[in-house]
Amino acid sequence: MQISKILNNNVVITEKDQAEVVAMGRGLAFGKKIGDKIAVEKIEKCYTLQGDESSRIDELLAEIPDEIFVITDKVITLAKDKIPGKINDSLFLSLADHINATQLRAKEGFVVKNFLLWDIKRFFPTEFTIGKKAVADIAKKFGLPDLLDTDDEAGFIAMHIVNSELGRGDSSASELTKLMEEMLTIVKYSLQVAINEEDIFFQRFVTHLKFFSERVLLDDATTLPSSDDSLFQMIIERFPESYETTLKIVGFLSKTRGYQVSKDEQTYITIHLARIVQKNV
């Protein structure tokens, strides 16, 4: 592996498997120049650049301070630890770019309101917690205590992490949040019970709803283990009110997104709803 660009003593751009990667490691580029070989044993982290990231790398490297990349790596390391197997390498540059813009805005006294903040806290608590830690690091590193006054920025960072989990464009987190909110609205109006959102059964349903919503957005109905028709029939007969709500979700998704909800998924949703009803009646 040869150095194609040097960011600082610890971060370089190189190629691996015919793709550009950001390689990080203590002293990785110390005493090196472009074209020199990298000591592979010194590489601690690698992030593969994707799509138009390669064409933007020179521009981004020129704009983004070294400290931003350190914070970004720390955020992604934590995200990969808390959300194993789901974080895409594309998060590295997009998040670094966002964090840099954030600290520049904060220095000018500009605050951007996050209108999805309430839903982000509800639906993506792990990602939001990571966002809070990231904001604390940014505020400390750049001397920006005002960043800690609101949770808006933590919500934006959480959205970047969710986008990375989905492996899609910048609109993924907002699409996912909107879809989950729409289905929860159907549930609340249809079941007509006072739902305690702190209840463990509701939280489990929200977790299931998140993964279900991801499958809907990806148009993937094949990931659940298959159940037999006898179980499906038993569930709908035992929990008719919950199944009626499930059917409303089925109809909504069919009408608005052309998505056909399988019997297996209907079974899972109905069971979750039945537990919520039993807990809150």
Domains 64-170 and 172-280 are alike in CATH topology: yes
Alpha carbon 27 to chain centroid, angstroms:
31
Is 70 exceeded by the pLDDT of residue 65? yes
Is 60 exceeded by the pLDDT of residue 157? yes
φ, ψ of residue 2 in degrees (nearest 5):
-110, 150
Question: Could you give the count of Cα atoms lying within 13 Å of 44 in the half-sphere of its Cβ?
Answer: 12
Given 3.30.420.40, 1.10.1790.10, 3.40.50.720, 3.40.50.970, which CATH number is that of 64-170? 1.10.1790.10
Domain boundaries, the chain: 1-50, 64-170, 172-280
**What pLDDT does 223 receive?**
47
Is 80 exceeded by the pLDDT of residue 49? no
Tokens 């909110």 sit at which residue? Answer: 181
Q: What's the pTM value of the predicted model, to 2 decimals? A: 0.75
Mean pLDDT of 238-246: 94
Mean pLDDT of 31-45: 87
**What pLDDT does 42 receive?**
86
Given 3.30.420.40, 1.10.1790.10, 3.40.50.10490, 3.30.365.10, which CATH number is that of 172-280? 1.10.1790.10
Is 80 exceeded by the pLDDT of residue 34? yes
Q: How far is CA 54 from CA 8, 25, 33, 74, 199, in A?
A: 18, 20, 20, 22, 46
Is 60 exceeded by the pLDDT of residue 226? no
**What pLDDT does 244 receive?**
95
**What pLDDT does 30 receive?**
86
Q: Which of 47, 200, 71 is nearest to 134 (CA)?
A: 71
Among 66-75, 106-115, 132-141, 145-154, name the one with the lowest average pLDDT. Answer: 106-115
| CB proximity list for 53: less than 8 A, separation 6 or greater | 20, 90, 93, 94
Q: Tell me yes or no: is domain 1-50 CATH 1.20.1250.20.
A: no
